[in-house]
Structure 1
Amino acid sequence: MGALRYSINVALDGCVHHEAGLAPDAESMRYWTAQIAEADALLFGRVTYEMMAAAWRRPESGGWPDWMEEWETPFAEAIDGASKHVVSRMLGSVDWNAELLRGELGDAVRQLKERSSGYLSLGGVKLPTELAALGLIDEFEFLVQPVVVGHGPRLLEGLRERIQLELVERREFASGAVLHRYRPAAAGGPPLLGAG
């Protein structure tokens, strides 16, 4: 059975909005590229899926856009080619190596984990809160960026029950960003997968 790992960039004040100045540098982008390459598949809600597709889907021309830095290309290639699962009540279909996850959310994600032999990478803001409330997240991976935003959606905002976590990895980046990886303290589920 696979593990579900929630991974996201976050500001020091907990803001996780993609327009909050949390864009990773070359070092952290290499880290995210490796994480996506190792994942069995990615799991997104509709908003994150559409945002990622708009930014990272390979253009029909075949070349990457001019705005993309050379060090961003490996990440673009990794996410473009990754298998994806999308949770949405609004979308009738998806593409970009993706399939819609149908049925009741908890059951659908449990079945996805059962079919996985490695780990599933979960991204976004709202969907992870729902899955954390259901106790389905096996690892929480936060790359804390050295910035205070002061507004916007916060990490796991709206979660009603406390989740006690234990630190399983900490890594400092040259930019001042710090990676923290946790698992639920009472986790009796799948074993922790690769520490990086």
Structure 2
Amino acid sequence: MRKVIYGINLTTDGCCDHTKGNGTADIHEYFTALMKDVDLIVYGRKTYELMVPYWPDVAKSQSGTKLENEFAETFDAIDKIVFSKSLESADGNTRIIRENLAEEFLKLKQQTGKKISIGGVDLPSQLIALDLVDEFHFVIHPVIAGEGRRLLADTQLRDRLNLKLVQSKVLESGAVALHYLKQ
């Protein structure tokens, strides 16, 4: 069965609002390396609309820094699925699934291929509650936001989820990348 990885940027006080962290080059480098083992990205509508068309446009125009361009190229080349009832259409190598999150996601896990990457907050929270996420990559930025959305704030887990730390890395910016496996 394919592994599902969840990567997200967080502030030291747990805020997962993408505008509250530091978008430094080493963060792009970290997530580009993470995507090398991925052949499918799954988002909900909100995260998809934050990422697309922004990153595909950067990949085409090469308008970012060297590391942003590398991330954009890696991201753009990977197939995507959006779980959404309201998204009208999707660009390029993206398809939309409108119903049966648990059933459809389990089918994706059972297909052959590399890892599946999920991102955002709402969809990953639902998948975590369904016990369908295998690995967690939390990048903790050296920022105290003092406000903002918190990860899993509105999620009811069936049981406590125990994780095992398998790697930690301090990035040049002072952010700390933590890699956990579900136990």
Deviates further, 93-102 or 45-54:
93-102
Q: Secondary structure at the match of 1:144?
A: strand
Equivalent residues in 2 for 1:32-181, closer than 5 Å? 32-58=31-57, 62-65=60-63, 68-161=64-157, 162-181=160-179
Equivalent in the alignment of 1:29: 28
CA distance, structure 1, for counterparts of residue 146 and residue 167 of structure 2: 27
**For the Cα contact (< 8 Å) 2:85–2:99, is it kept in 1?**
no
Deviation, 1:59, is 6.5
Tell me if the contact between 1:7 and 1:141 (Cα under 8 Å) persists in the aligned partners.
yes
Q: TM-score, normalised by structure 2?
A: 0.91
In the alignment, structure 1 segments of 5+ residues that lack a partner are 186-196
The range that moved more, 85-94 or 131-140, is 85-94
- Residue range with higher mean Cα deviation, 13-22 or 144-153: 13-22
3-state SS, counterpart of residue 61 of structure 2: coil
- The whole-number CA distance in structure 2 between the counterparts of 1:153 and 1:116 is 35
User: What residue is the counterpart of 2:20 in the other structure?
Assistant: 20
The number of residues matched between the two structures is 181
Q: CA RMSD in A?
A: 1.7
Aligned residues of 1:9 and 1:144 also touching (Cα < 8 A): yes
- Gaps in structure 2 of 5+ consecutive residues: none
Is the partner of 2:22 in helix, strand or coil? Answer: coil
The SS at the match of 2:57 is coil
Identity among equivalent positions (%) equals: 37
Residue 79 of structure 1 deviates from its aligned partner by 1.0
Task: Report how far residue 92 of structure 1 moved.
Answer: 3.2
Alpha-carbon spacing, 1:159–1:59, altered in 2? closer, same or farther (3 Å): closer
Give the distance between the partners of 1:138 and 1:59, measured in 2 at CA: 30
Contact 1:10 1:22 in 2 (8 A): no
CA separation in 2, counterparts of 1:150 and 1:18? Answer: 14
By how many angstroms is 1:116 displaced?
3.5
